[in-house]
Amino acid sequence: MPYLFTSESVSEGHPDKVADQISDALIDNFLAFDAQSKVACETLVTTGQVVLAGEVKSKAYLDVQDIARGVIKKIGYTKSEYMFEANSCGVLSAIHEQSADINQGVDRKKKEEQGAGDQGMMFGYATNETEHYMPLALDLAHNLLIELAAIRREKNSKMPYLRPDAKSQVTLEYDDNNRPVRIDAIVISTQHDDFDAEAKMLAKIKADVINILIPRIKSKYKKYAKLFNNDIKYHINPTGKFVIGGPHGDTGLTGRKIIVDTYGGKGAHGGGAFSGKDPSKVDRSAAYATRHIAKNLVAAGLCDEVLVQVSYAIGVAKPTSINVNTYGTANVELSDGEIAKIVEGIFDMRPYFIEQRLKLRNPIYSETAAYGHMGRVPEVVEKSFKSPDGKVKKVKVELFTWEKLDYVSKVKKAFGLK
């Protein structure tokens, strides 16, 4: 029987994502100047105020206020009428030394015996629904906001009233074979200038979303172009005007958008957030590693869809379990348990080896903190970091290494796939 499935996304200007981006900018700066930094950093943002808190073990000294203001400026909170502005907001730091009790469970004389930074379970998911092996509803939701932000920043923008805060939601109809056949509804709530009477503003924004934003999104999805038809139900700023937004409208906290960050409700989630954590925290590194496994399994043709789970005990290197669920889509005559055993032999899931395989001790995390950690495009970039004494350090890094299809040949060989 046909069914509906919905995923949402939030923009870089959403208060929770502002917090995530500040936390990950701190991670990047610590790692840029001391690759062995241990960091767990939380951020709170509200009207005119940023609060930083967390635990750090690092040789690096940072101007955390300057880093936070740089993130806020880049996002676009640069006007006093937003009631949260990069140059004028207060920044309070309550960052302190990491507990020695926690650190002793992670550091080991032999690097390969490095223990997990915490207990818990992490999940990675992949599906052949899209070219990036992501669920279509979430992929659409992310791209709606990526494109909306691009429109906001364009010179002579066709939607000049846009402000940084926004949310999206996409509902798809699936057939009995779990294939998307129709977009049922699209929800866009975008912050905007107060430029006219409310009814006129709402009519203008809705028309612009449908006539400017949607065609740009449709052009990105040639495979699914037929899903964009005149029967889509659009809910554009459904509560009315949305002038008051960002951290002035709602307080933002690090780690509150974990489903947006991962698979939009598909698969599963272990509950641990990513942003603000260095890679010794398996909440982050193992979630990336399981995504890497899942994507390579599907890309190799082992299955059409897969969920990979791994679990850890704090301070212990070897995972307590590895589980694979192919949802009955496996193309080999093996049980999911048998597949999991082979996967365990291909991918070493001890924390040190995850860090090495995915190059996670590099400053690569700011780019993950908005529009999803998964389904992104791997690329090499050069990044610059400035120390409090004015010295600039340039680092060439590889982003989104867990999205690489570098284990496809190994998977095919292990499973006898052509």
Residues that constitute the known binding site for K(+): 42
**Whose CA is closest to 282, among 105, 407, 26, 28?**
105
Binding site members for L-methionine: 55, 98, 250, 281
Long-range contacts made by residues 140-143, C-beta under 8 angstroms, separation at least 24?
A: 140/7, 140/170, 140/183, 140/217, 140/221, 141/7, 141/8, 141/9, 141/168, 141/169, 141/170, 141/264, 142/9, 142/168, 142/371, 142/372, 142/375, 143/217, 143/220
- In a 10 Å sphere around its CB, with 0-12 CB exposed, 13-18 middle and 19+ buried, how is residue 64 labelled? buried
CA pair distance 24, 29, nearest whole angstrom: 9
CA pair distance 378, 386, nearest whole angstrom: 25
Binding site members for ATP: 14, 165-167, 241-242, 250, 256-257, 273, 277
Beta bridge partners of 49: 46, 90
Binding site members for Mg(2+): 16
| CA 102 to the chain's CA centroid | 26
Beta bridge partners of 92: 51
Q: Residue 22: which residues within 8 A CB-CB, separation 6 or more?
A: 43, 45, 50, 52, 67, 68, 71, 72, 254
Binding site members: 14, 16, 42, 55, 98, 165-167, 241-242, 250, 256-257, 273, 277, 281
CA pair distance 342, 197, nearest whole angstrom: 63
For the record, the structure tokens of 180 come out as: 């998307």
For the record, the structure tokens of 214 come out as: 């949607």
SS3 content of the chain, % helix, strand, coil (to 5): 35, 25, 40
For residue 33, give the H/E element and its range. Answer: helix 15-33
Q: Residue 390: which residues within 8 A CB-CB, separation 6 or more?
A: none
**Which stretches of 62-108 are DSSP H helices?**
64-75, 100-106
**Whose CA is closest to 316, among 357, 352, 267?**
352
DSSP string, 281-318: SHHHHHHHHHHHHHHHHHHTTS-SEEEEEEEE-BT-SS
CA pair distance 317, 355, nearest whole angstrom: 12
